[in-house]
């Protein structure tokens, strides 16, 4: 039976993009409810400036309350964040590279080539410290400022990141503008060129194409996806981007296709209720 791995990003990507700021105790509660579903990988927070992203402050305190450190990843924007994560015993870090200069400047105030240079150092240190490193290749299909992103350019950037020993590339349709044809074309090219590389995908449901894009990716050889309980979140720097692909929609579709995820859909719907209660939002997933 096929196995698709789900990387739940609600506690980070979801919570940082809503108005309400949850306490560490509430974030803990959400993560525990997600762990009960059988989800093995959870992006639990980030080590970023608390002025830039107040919702993610005290991620270290949160880590200290949690017990399955091997199952968690945290997002880090720079070397400082990397050192903090390492000091808290984090085993997996995610970094972000927006592939267009306009978007990368908005996101971390750096041109693309500067970020790539900084990432080289972080990936090397991760490798040496036995910390699994991932890189989000963000706005990989469309940029809200620069439009369609050229696939051959993305392929080239991915090659550089892989040379720097990043362990996983997450191809991200950050604003939810990609369609299945574009997805299958880019992912097939990438999995063909970089045969030994680990790829996963991050989709948004802006145009109701999240699940179709997942299917296109599976057909192109991808077996790992980000998703977000209740379709929480969006992107503060990407105008009009709606929520992430909802975990319950993803698991629901895969279950109908007899593709195993190891996640219990009923328990996922309970975790969704926890997310609704904690955030006070009516969430966007359609599987309930």
In this structure, what DSSP letter does residue 18 have? S
Shortest reach from residue 203's CB to Mg ion, in Å = 8
Distance CA 258, CA 234 (A): 29
* Alpha-carbon 45 to chain mean position: 11
Q: Which stretch binds Mg ion (CB under 5 A): 5-13, 64-72, 101-109, 137-145?
A: 5-13
Of 233 and 252, which has the nearer Cβ to Mg ion?
A: 233
Could you give the angle at which helices 265-279 and 24-35 cross, rounded to 10 degrees? 170
Alpha-carbon distances of 65 from 131, 176, 204, rounded to whole Å: 20, 34, 30
Please report, as residue ranges, which positions from 86 to 145 form the binding site for Mg ion (by CB under 5 A).
none
Shortest reach from residue 244's CB to Mg ion, in Å = 4
Give the count of beta carbons closer than 10 Å to the beta carbon of residue 260: 11
Strand partners, 134: 94, 168
Distance CA 64, CA 48 (A): 17
Contact 192, 220 (CB under 8 A): no
Shortest reach from residue 145's CB to Mg ion, in Å = 17
Q: Please give the structure tokens belonging to residue 83.
A: 């050192």
Shortest reach from residue 170's CB to Mg ion, in Å = 10
| Contact string (CB under 5 A) for Mg ion, positions 6-25, x = contact | -------x------------
Alpha-carbon distances of 151 from 48, 156, 157, 179, rounded to whole Å: 30, 9, 10, 14
Distance CA 44, CA 46 (A): 7
Q: How many residues does the chain have?
A: 288
Of 15 and 164, which has the nearer Cβ to Mg ion?
A: 15
Q: Note if 235 is an active site residue.
A: yes
Contact 275, 10 (CB under 8 A): yes
Of 204 and 272, which has the nearer Cβ to Mg ion?
A: 204
Asked if 168 interacts with Mg ion (CB under 5 A), we say no
Shortest reach from residue 162's CB to Mg ion, in Å = 22
Please give the size of the binding site for Mg ion, defined by CB under 5 A.
Answer: 2
Please report, as residue ranges, which positions from 219 to 258 form the binding site for Mg ion (by CB under 5 A).
244
Shortest reach from residue 155's CB to Mg ion, in Å = 22
Count the alpha carbons within 13 Å of 181 in the hemisphere toward its beta carbon.
Answer: 0
| Contact string (CB under 5 A) for Mg ion, positions 186-225, x = contact | ----------------------------------------
Of 126 and 244, which has the nearer Cβ to Mg ion?
A: 244
Could you give the angle at which helices 180-193 and 210-219 cross, rounded to 10 degrees? 30
The one catalytic residue in 98, 135, 201, 235 is 235
> Which helix (H) or strand (E) is 193 found in, with range?
helix 180-193
Strand partners, 98: 138
* Contacting residues toward Mg ion, per CB under 5 A: 13, 244
The catalytic residue positions are 235
């Amino acid at each position: 039976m096929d196995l698709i791995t789900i990387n739940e990003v609600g506690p980070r990507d979801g919570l940082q993009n809503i108005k309400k700021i949850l306490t560490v105790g509430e974030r803990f509660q959400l993560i525990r409810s997600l762990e009960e579903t059988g989800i093995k990988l959870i992006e639990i927070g980030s080590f970023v400036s608390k002025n830039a992203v107040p919702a993610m402050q005290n991620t270290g305190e949160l880590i200290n309350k949690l017990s399955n450190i091997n199952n968690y990843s945290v997002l880090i924007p720079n070397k400082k964040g990397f050192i903090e994560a390492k000091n808290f015993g984090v085993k997996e870090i995610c970094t972000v590279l927006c592939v267009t200069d306009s978007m990368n400047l908005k996101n971390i105030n750096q041109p693309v080539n500067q970020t790539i240079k900084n990432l080289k150092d972080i990936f090397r240190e991760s490798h040496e410290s036995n910390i699994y490193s991932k890189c989000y290749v963000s706005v990989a299909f469309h940029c809200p400022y620069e439009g369609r992103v050229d696939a051959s350019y993305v392929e080239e950037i991915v090659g550089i990141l892989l040379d720097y020993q990043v362990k996983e590339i997450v191809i991200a349709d950050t604003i939810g503008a990609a369609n299945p044809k574009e997805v299958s074309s880019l992912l097939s090219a990438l999995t063909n060129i970089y045969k030994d590389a680990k790829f996963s995908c991050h989709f948004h449901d802006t145009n109701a194409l999240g699940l179709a894009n997942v299917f296109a990716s599976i057909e192109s050889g991808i077996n790992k996806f980000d998703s977000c309980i209740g379709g929480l979140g969006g992107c503060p720097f990407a105008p009009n981007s709606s929520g992430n692909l909802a975990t319950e929609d993803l698991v629901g579709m895969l279950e109908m296709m007899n593709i195993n995820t190891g996640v219990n859909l009923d328990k996922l719907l309970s975790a969704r209720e926890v997310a609704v209660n904690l955030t006070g939002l009516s969430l966007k997933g359609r599987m309930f």
